[in-house]
Amino acid sequence: MPGGAGYGSEVPNVLERNRVTLRGVPSGRPMLFAHGFGCDQEMWRFVAPDFEVDHRVVLFDHVGSGKSDLGAYDAEKYGALQGYAEDVVEICRELGLTDVVYVGHSVSSMIGVLAYNQAPELFGALVMVGPSPRYVDDGDYVGGFSRNDIVGLLDALDSNHLGWSTQMAPVIMGNAGRPELAEELTNSFCSTNPDIARQFARVTFLSDNRADLAGVQVPTLVLQCSADVIAPETVGRYVHEHVPGSVFTQLAATGHCPNLSAPEETTAAIRAFLSG
């Protein structure tokens, strides 16, 4: 696996390592957009531009995803979501950002919670798009998957990365009447390094960040899609109930990727939250 023993002899600059892209108004309130599993910063291309008119927009790829520096992938560091959260904090500090509006999709919602808990002075608001603090059911907690479901999902990914991607992407995307969306997500999954995809999937689907939610003390928006098989409504409402003072917005958008399938609705919901 790339970088399994560490970063190697030369540590890459964080902005190069994570392919950080800066847009918008340099003096505007910063907005940091974080993508989900198997994706990259291009997944925000229909949402982020709307905020460039009055915000400093920061886009990046998690290490191991997109066009990040694969040589910087450290299996030990990224064996937990905390490793990705450390990168978020490092990006903010490298750019001198404060009062950051962090917008995280899917697993990056919890990465944002961890980053906030690590360095709360950097963040002014959190936006969680399709968040899940735990995917596996646990007693009264309904995450949407049994442990056997997750084991089967991970085993399938281990045995056939391309086949898994082709099968799962349409399920995750939803919107069966718009096959081009599923095709884009499939291609994104398939282009990810298989070894990294397997570990990121394990870290994502076996994580439990429920206890981390109560520490969030900034305005927070929970954006919940309809008919989301990855993060069902019960999960979104759980996040809302356990993040003090958070706002819950139910989207008409279906599936797990409203940043692609319903960017106008997603953008409008974030705008309404930030102006409220």
Given 55, 68, 105, 106, which residue is catalytic?
106
Instruction: Say whether pLDDT at 5 is over 50.
Output: no
Catalytic residue among 228, 240, 246, 261: 228
CA angle 231/102/196 to nearest 5° reads: 60
Task: Return the half-sphere exposure (C-beta side, CA atoms, 13 A cut-off) of residue 166.
Answer: 4
Cα–Cα distance for residue pair 48/45, rounded to 1 Å: 6
Q: Can 226 be counted among the known catalytic residues? A: no
With beta carbons less than 8 A apart as the criterion, state whether 132 and 124 touch.
no
For 48-73, b/e burial (b = at least 16 CB within 10 A) is bebbeeebbbbbbbbbbbbebbbebb
Question: Is the per-residue pLDDT at 8 higher than 50?
Answer: no
Cα–Cα distance list, 253 to 63, 130, 241 (Å): 29, 11, 22
7 within some domain: no
Domain annotation covers residue 51: yes
256 is catalytic: yes
Strand order in 247-254's β-sheet?
A: 21-24, 55-59, 29-34, 100-105, 123-129, 220-226, 247-254
Residue 5 inside a domain? The answer is no
Q: Flag whether 126 is in a domain.
A: yes
How many helices (H) does the chain have, and how many strands (E)? 11, 7
Q: What is the CATH number of the domain that holds 239?
A: 3.40.50.1820
The answer to whether residue 106 is catalytic is yes
Please say whether the beta carbons of 103 and 60 come within 8 A: no
End-to-end CA distance of the chain: 46
| Dihedral (CA of 184, 206, 92, 87) sign | negative
Residue 227, in any domain of the structure: yes
Average pLDDT, the chain: 94
Contacts of 105 (CB under 8 A, 6+ apart): 34, 35, 36, 39, 43, 129, 130, 257, 259
When mean pLDDT is compared across 8-12, 134-138, 170-174, 233-237, the lowest value belongs to: 8-12
From the CA atom positions of the chain, what is the Rg in Å? 17
Task: Note the pLDDT of residue 171.
Answer: 87
Residue 255 lies in domain = 14-275
State the total domains in the chain: 1
Residue 154 covered by a domain:
yes
Tokens matching residue 2: 């790339």
Residue tagged active-site, from 105, 165, 256, 261: 256
Written as six digits, the tokens of 264 are 């106008």
Q: Within a domain: residue 73?
A: yes
Tokens coding 48: 């982020």
Tell me: pLDDT of 150 over 80: yes
Beta bridge partner(s), residue 30: 56
User: Which tokens is 105 given?
Assistant: 């999709």
Identity of the residue numbered 237: R
The arithmetic mean of pLDDT across residues 156-177, rounded, is: 90
pLDDT in tens, 73-131: 999 999 999 999 999 999 999 999 999 999 999 999 999 999 999 999 999 999 999 99
Total residue count of the chain as it appears in this document: 276
**pLDDT, mean of residues 164-184:** 90
Query: Does residue 143 carry a pLDDT above 80?
Result: yes
Residue 189: band (very low, low, confident or very high) from pLDDT cuts 50, 70, 90: confident
Predicted structure pTM score: 0.94
Q: What is the pLDDT of residues 25-81, one digit of tens each?
A: 999 999 999 999 999 999 999 999 999 999 999 999 999 999 999 999 999 999 999
User: Is 9 a member of any domain?
Assistant: no
